[in-house]
């Protein structure tokens, strides 16, 4: 089975090729078709993209839900509704994310996750990202303090032994037991990330040396330069800049971080170390109005307006409602980032961060046929997963 997209602008890791296309055979990229290479056989699926951009599929490493569902709802329907909502906005690989919760709730989600990965017509579900419960109480943000605790071997071993669908885990590296925790995750091939943390530079250095490779939602829920007994110490943010190899997540919804910070992060870290993420809650893709942050039963009522969720008293943000296409738009239209770099930060860079760049993240022969077609305003028109069209506007 061959699928051919023709007459587009193909975004590769090095350039944008005008008047080009892409051929996929049995779900795998076969070749980039430049001008003059157009030919096809009877039975091929040939799609004229009419001059639009042909991009690698978007990869979202951190999302809590969408389409009116939160992954913490703990049902197969909630997972499928959430991932399909993001799929329509260009997400072809997704990492559903949890919040700190009871172990019973978490195990229920892990069971649903295993079942969801076998469904058809959805994005690739890479696995689950556990956000918590090993956090600094001072930097917990919207996480429920009832479940915040230090990493204890018997606790996380029980979770890890229960499921092999965990691909990423966020924790505060300054907590007792956090170094052993990082080593255990690394041994199992699970990406370990720093977040919701009051760590200082020295903590971050030790964490990096013990397997932590990423910083979760950069600037949100983390320490910056501070005084301790009259002396200044660098926090997580400054450490993220100083340690070149650390990947950083950026919630590029245009609300969580202002234009100036988006430009600063891009200037210092560059597109090879920035992973754009939605960190979206259930209201992503739903429009303005009331919603719930977290589980339907125990979650908090919030209001969605101005493109972000807020607490009912509007005293603070209560979560992103972004989709991946919006992240790219924000970086291009607000932060002034070149389109190819903005695309890299939502494709190849997150693929590298998760160790899947050998098969995803760029339009290279031999990689999976995950493709997004969008127009000049970065409005998604076509989504292809594994060489099959699963969404077309």
How does pLDDT run across 334-356, given as a tens digit for each residue? 999 999 999 999 999 999 999 99
CA distance 97 to 223: 22
CA distance 34 to 127: 35
Cα–Cα distances in angstroms (integers) from residue 169 to residues 98, 150, 205, 320, 362, in the given order = 10, 14, 18, 20, 25
CA distance 125 to 82: 11
Model confidence at 36, in pLDDT bands (50, 70, 90)? low
What pLDDT shows up at residue 298? Answer: 77
Model confidence at 389, in pLDDT bands (50, 70, 90)? very high
Write out the CATH class of domain 58-353. Answer: alpha beta
What pLDDT shows up at residue 10? Answer: 98
| Residue 247 pLDDT greater than 80, yes or no | yes
Could you give the dihedral angle defined by the CA atoms of residues 352, 353, 354 and 359, in that order, rounded to the nearest 10 degrees?
Answer: -10
Q: What percent of the chain has pLDDT over 70?
A: 100
Q: Span 367-391, mean pLDDT?
A: 97
| Residue 197 pLDDT greater than 90, yes or no | yes
Q: Span 290-303, mean pLDDT?
A: 85
The residue assigned the tokens 């939502």 is 346
Q: Beta partners for 228? A: 231
Residue, of 300 and 238, whose pLDDT is higher: 238
| Residue 313 pLDDT greater than 90, yes or no | no
CA distance 152 to 235: 24
Q: Span 58-73, mean pLDDT?
A: 96
- Asked whether the beta carbons of 330 and 339 are under 8 A apart, the reply is no
Q: Which of 195, 150, 188 lies closest to 170 in space, CA to CA?
A: 195
Question: How far from each other are the two terminal CA atoms of the chain, in whole angstroms?
Answer: 23
Q: Of 20-34, 253-267, 303-317, which gets the smallest average pLDDT?
A: 303-317
User: Among residues 144, 203, 279, 368, which one is catalytic?
Assistant: 279
How many Cα atoms are found within 13 Å in the side-chain-facing hemisphere of 192?
25
Q: Domain segments of the chain: what residues?
A: 2-55+367-392, 58-353
- Asked whether the beta carbons of 71 and 116 are under 8 A apart, the reply is no
187-203 b/e (C-beta count within 10 Å ≥ 16 → b): eeebbbbbbbbbbbbeb
Active site residue 35: no
Model confidence at 142, in pLDDT bands (50, 70, 90)? confident
What pLDDT shows up at residue 9? Answer: 97
- Asked whether the beta carbons of 217 and 239 are under 8 A apart, the reply is no
CA distance 177 to 206: 12
What pLDDT shows up at residue 383? Answer: 98
CATH architecture assignment, domain 2-55+367-392: Roll (2.30)
CA distance 59 to 126: 10
Q: What percent of the chain has pLDDT over 90?
A: 85
CA distance 324 to 87: 9
């Amino acid at each position: 089975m061959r699928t051919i997209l023709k007459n587009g602008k193909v975004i590769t890791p090095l350039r944008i090729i005008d008047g080009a296309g892409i051929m996929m055979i049995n779900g795998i990229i076969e070749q980039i078709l430049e001008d003059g290479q157009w030919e096809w056989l009877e039975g091929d699926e040939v799609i004229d993209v009419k001059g639009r951009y042909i991009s690698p599929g978007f990869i979202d490493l951190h999302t809590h839900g969408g389409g009116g569902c939160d992954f913490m709802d703990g049902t197969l329907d909630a997972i499928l509704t959430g991932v399909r909502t993001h799929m329509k906005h260009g997400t072809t690989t997704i990492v559903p994310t949890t919040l700190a919760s009871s172990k019973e709730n978490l195990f229920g989600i892990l069971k649903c996750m295993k079942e969801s990965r076998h469904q058809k017509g959805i994005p690739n579900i890479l696995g689950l990202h556990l956000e918590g419960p090993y956090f600094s109480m001072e930097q917990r943000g919207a996480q429920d303090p009832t479940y915040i605790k230090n990493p204890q071997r018997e606790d996380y071993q029980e979770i890890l032994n229960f499921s092999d669908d965990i691909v990423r885990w966020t924790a505060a590296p300054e907590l007792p037991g956090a170094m052993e925790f990082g080593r255990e995750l690394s041994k199992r091939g699970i990406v370990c990330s720093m977040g919701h943390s009051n760590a200082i530079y020295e903590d971050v250095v030790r964490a990096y040396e013990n397997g932590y490779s990423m910083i979760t939602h950069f600037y949100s829920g983390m320490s910056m330069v501070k005084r301790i007994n009259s002396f200044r110490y660098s926090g997580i943010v400054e450490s993220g800049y100083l340690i070149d190899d650390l990947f950083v997540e950026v919630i590029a919804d245009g609300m969580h971080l202002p234009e100036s910070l988006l430009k600063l992060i891009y200037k210092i870290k560059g597109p090879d170390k920035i992973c754009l993420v939605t960190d979206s809650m259930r209201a992503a893709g739903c429009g303005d109005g009331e919603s719930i942050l977290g589980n339907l039963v125990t979650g908090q009522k919030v209001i969605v307006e101005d493109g972000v969720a807020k607490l009912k008293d509007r005293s603070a943000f209560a979560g992103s409602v972004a989709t991946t296409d919006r992240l790219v738009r924000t970086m291009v239209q607000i932060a002034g980032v070149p389109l190819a770099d903005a695309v890299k930060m939502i494709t190849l860079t997150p693929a590298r961060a998760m160790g899947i760049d050998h098969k995803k993240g760029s339009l290279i022969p031999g990689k999976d046929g995950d493709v997004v077609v969008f127009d000049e305003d970065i409005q998604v028109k076509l989504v292809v997963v594994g060489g099959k069209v699963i969404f077309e506007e």
